[in-house]
Structure 1
Amino acid sequence: IPLGIELFSTLDAYSTKATDHPESSYQCEKTAEAAKRNECVERSLLAAAKAFTARWLPLILDQTRYYTDNIQEVIRKSWRASRNDMLRVMNRVSYQSVLTLFIFSQTPIPCGISEEEEEDGISGLFRGSEVGTWVNAIAGPGTDPSSTERYLQLESRVYWAAVGWDTSASLAYNVRASLTSGLRGACVEPVWLLARAFLVGSFHPQTETWRAEGLKVTDEIARRVLSGAAVGSVYVWKNITSLKEALREGVGEDSLLLTWESLLDAIDVYRTSVCPLLNTCERQIHYLDQERRLCWFEVSLQYHLGILTMVDALRAAHRSDLLARVLDLGQDTESEIFNVLRFGTDSTYTIRCARETAPTRGLAETTDAAQSTITTSLITVYPLISRVIDSVALTKRVVDLKHSRGTISDDVYSYLYSVLTKALGQLPQYRGRATLSGKDL
């Protein structure tokens, strides 16, 4: 089964085959056009990937013998090149174009980009609405049953990824989801019914012995636990976005309470089926490989960010009646989020790079070692920095509120702020939300 970018290119290949015309001359002409178009699609995807990963160039250059005088200009140039291509990407109907749009939406705006330049074009926020208009335009595979089955398997993976992206954007930017419905989506839509069925009917019974009798966590067991936790986190997030939509749009109390009960059910499923296993992984986390540690950090951060967002939304809506029902849950998260952030800042991640045989233009030669290594913190290599920033911002509100009420001392207040400051300080330096959060702290 293809993974990563190859998954999207494989689906594009299936779509191209499906549109082949039986007439050979016509088919040759369309094949040539498709090949040329695919080159443009791949070039745009590569440009987006370069812009996305450029944030780590200072880290790489700092820990190798490479050097350059103006690395920030290189980062800005890669961002501009990708941004200038986004309108063309939207007009190229393909699976790789979907991935390109998402990657660019997660690319932070570099330092040195003015607000005027940022506003003069596309600069973020993946929206599923563009993708939705492509559904009928992207043709499926031919009539070969085996081809159709494989195509559907691959497309299901891409669809689930897109649903996750769409749900994340809905929660982070306080907008409606585009690929799934709003208020009752988690109750009636097939994708969310399947997610709940997996957690309750598959994941829970398969891991019942682990919860009841305990287990020694291996990398493979951790992978299975974290995979289930990832599904559970997205399911909880979907229900939180539905609650936020209900609060934001002032729906009737009956509809609001229906959404609320659905959210409580999702949280109960997660806390019953997933949390005990995640806690076991945490106790043995230092014996797991770094990929598993990074995954644990990601799913833990995602879950706690969702709970913080829910509590913040209830406070903003002055729904003290609902807030009282999750008071203990909110307090647990307000404590646990510091443990997650500290794990991200204190744990290391090592990247091993093969020795370059020739220097890149404008950069000095590498060492003679067969392999170089770059070691940094987990939070530095974590790609979705907006989640870290949002977690810090929401936690800051909680800390400020507790300090103003006198429930924590000045010493505790200073310590908690140092944890938040350290988390922000280890993120790649980019303009915008990271800078603003840093100034606030």
Structure 2
Amino acid sequence: MGRYSCPFLFGQDDLAERYISISDLCCYLDRYMAETSKGSQGSSREHQRDKKRDDLITQSLRDTIAAFAVRWLPITSSDGLDTSHRIQTMWRQARRDMLRIINRPSYRSMLSLFLFALTPIPMGISEDEEADGVSGQVCIHAALQQVQSLRARHRNLQFSGSKVTPSSSSIPMSSAPESADTSSFINAENIAYWAAITFDTSASLTLNCRPLLSSGLFGFESEFTWKLVRTCLNVFNESSKSWCQGSAEMTDERANEIIAAAACWKLMGWKLAANFKEALRDGHDESEVRKALSYVSNSWKEFDATFRPFLDECYKRMQFLGQQTKLRWFSLMLHSHLSILMVLDTIEVADRYDLLADLKDASIEAENTVMNALAFGLHNTITLRRTIDSPCGSETIRSVTFTVPLLAFDPYPHHIVASVQLMRKAIDRDYRNKNITQDLYDSLNATLESALKHLPQSSKSIQAARQKFSAAPDDEILEDTQVPYRELPALLHG
């Protein structure tokens, strides 16, 4: 969300920090909007009511953050401490609050809804309880609708069968558009909007739903946001021409600049992959399907030509980079190529094997990169330090450290699960086609299984993925020879 990743602020050192606390940013936006909309007007009773509402929104955000983060509690807890009950309790408490959050539009509420959508359903939650409440997908759509209403400067008449909301005055802004306060607010609002675009794009790709903040298929070509992303790619191309090639010039700051810029373009790749899935899913004309697929292919080629050489230099210098930089590099490499695997899976499910030839190089590159990224996330570690209570009367600050694989702390473990499942299909295919030996097959599967073992084990989805992974014996793989896709890639892979 910083200045090298948000297209609204790309490279503008005086407008944004390199790293952004999204929770602090949402608090700032809500505070600014409250101050500019009412100021000192209103009765004391109204101020008390507004303060109570504000406190409830803040508490809801804190509870949601706790429910989101508690999955990592076992890593920093004492051995043998049962955290499952605490995880279930916090998830239930956050979920009960979601309807109230939906009815209290604010940027903090938006963040609460997004975070709960990323919070895994814990083990011990029955299917009946899971179905009896708000789902993550509903939270995402509600958050996106809140963003749309919060960005609207004019409150015109709105009505539905359940409620009529009269017009209200516009939110006043500073009389000087160039003032520091107004500029900071606009920048912060743009960062929050880019975060919402990220969720909207991800949901349209992974949940097979249409985007709410941007148009589908080819409408993106005329949208300001995606034009900015394209401009950022061109700016990066120009600015990077003066950089010296070689890992010796790869500082931690330079590496993070490259990773952030590549992450901005990665979202374009996800957008185009979602558009292709929409074209295939909704039965668009063949010409539109082919056009959407060509956009996916060209996007991958541009990523490879623009960023891959620099990302490879980052990898050569990896042992000299900070652990947070390593985590960002791992996350980028995994997620940027996951979209290609998802496109290939969509083609297989739709029985459109004639489209695979257009992604021959991309499919090989994606499978190689995702597998290498998973291995990187397993073999590289991140160290955390936690302060612990000191003995009574002691002023010494005591702490304990924990070292775990990088992928154990990826904030999107469901993407790792999806990567493992898609790579398992690719490995099974290559094994059946005799492209890999038994020893290599076992080694690759061991890497995938190890990746699942290091993810937060309180998640129902992760536990289900582990059970499914271990329940697929080799005999089933050898017997299944009827799916054409599993033969065709043997030709694609040479």
The answer as to 2:38 corresponding to 1:20 is yes
Q: AA paired with 1:178?
A: L
Could you list the runs of 5+ residues in structure 2 that have no partner in the other structure? 1-15, 154-170, 470-494
Distance in structure 2 (CA, Å) of the matches to 1:120 and 1:14: 37
2:381 to 348, 360, 372: 348
Q: Which region of structure 1 is more displaced relative to structure 2, 166-175 or 85-94? A: 166-175
Distance in structure 1 (CA, Å) of the matches to 2:389 and 2:276: 52
Deviation at 1:388, TM superposition (A): 0.4
Q: Aligned to 2:343, what secondary structure does the other structure show? A: helix
Q: Would the aligned equivalents of 1:18 and 1:142 in 2 still touch at CA under 8 Å?
A: yes
Partner of residue 362, structure 1:
none
Distance in structure 2 (CA, Å) of the matches to 1:380 and 1:367: 33
Deviation at 1:369, TM superposition (A): 5.4
Partner of residue 74, structure 1:
86
Partner of residue 154, structure 1:
188
Deviation at 1:123, TM superposition (A): 3.6
Cα-to-partner distance string for 1:209-230 (whole Å, 9 max, x where unaligned) = 3375665211100110011111
Q: Aligned to 1:315, what secondary structure does the other structure show? A: helix
**TM superposition score normalised by structure 2:** 0.82
Distance in structure 1 (CA, Å) of the matches to 2:263 and 2:454: 24
1:143 to 174, 186, 210: 174
Q: AA paired with 1:277?
A: F
The answer as to 2:36 corresponding to 1:45 is no
Deviation at 1:253, TM superposition (A): 1.9
Distance in structure 2 (CA, Å) of the matches to 1:42 and 1:4: 14
**TM superposition score normalised by structure 1:** 0.91
| Count of residues in correspondence between the two structures | 428
Distance in structure 2 (CA, Å) of the matches to 1:88 and 1:191: 31
Partner of residue 197, structure 1:
231
Q: AA paired with 1:187?
A: E
Q: Would the aligned equivalents of 1:113 and 1:431 in 2 still touch at CA under 8 Å?
A: no
1:9 to 5, 27, 31: 27
RMSD: 2.3
Distance in structure 2 (CA, Å) of the matches to 1:395 and 1:187: 32
The answer as to 2:423 corresponding to 1:395 is yes
Distance 1:368 1:111, change over 3 A: farther
Query: Among the aligned pairs, what percent are the same residue?
Result: 32
Partner of residue 468, structure 2:
440
The answer as to 2:388 corresponding to 1:375 is no
1:305 to 328, 338, 344: 338
Q: Which region of structure 1 is more displaced relative to structure 2, 328-337 or 297-306? A: 328-337
Partner of residue 419, structure 1:
447
Q: Would the aligned equivalents of 1:128 and 1:179 in 2 still touch at CA under 8 Å?
A: no
Distance in structure 1 (CA, Å) of the matches to 2:260 and 2:274: 22
Q: Would the aligned equivalents of 2:98 and 2:134 in 1 still touch at CA under 8 Å?
A: yes
Deviation at 1:296, TM superposition (A): 0.2
The answer as to 2:73 corresponding to 1:57 is yes
2:96 to 84, 90, 114: 84
Distance in structure 1 (CA, Å) of the matches to 2:92 and 2:39: 39
Deviation at 1:199, TM superposition (A): 0.7
Distance in structure 2 (CA, Å) of the matches to 1:255 and 1:46: 45
Deviation at 1:3, TM superposition (A): 2.9
Cα-to-partner distance string for 1:185-216 (whole Å, 9 max, x where unaligned) = 4322211111011112x111111233756652
Distance in structure 2 (CA, Å) of the matches to 1:191 and 1:281: 28
The answer as to 2:308 corresponding to 1:275 is yes
Q: Would the aligned equivalents of 1:16 and 1:34 in 2 still touch at CA under 8 Å?
A: no
Deviation at 1:324, TM superposition (A): 0.7
Between 1 and 2, higher relative CO (CA 8 Å, sep ≥ 6) is seen in 1
2:145 to 123, 132, 138: 132
Q: AA paired with 2:227?
A: L
Distance in structure 1 (CA, Å) of the matches to 2:38 and 2:417: 47
Distance 1:399 1:141, change over 3 A: farther
Distance in structure 2 (CA, Å) of the matches to 1:71 and 1:354: 19
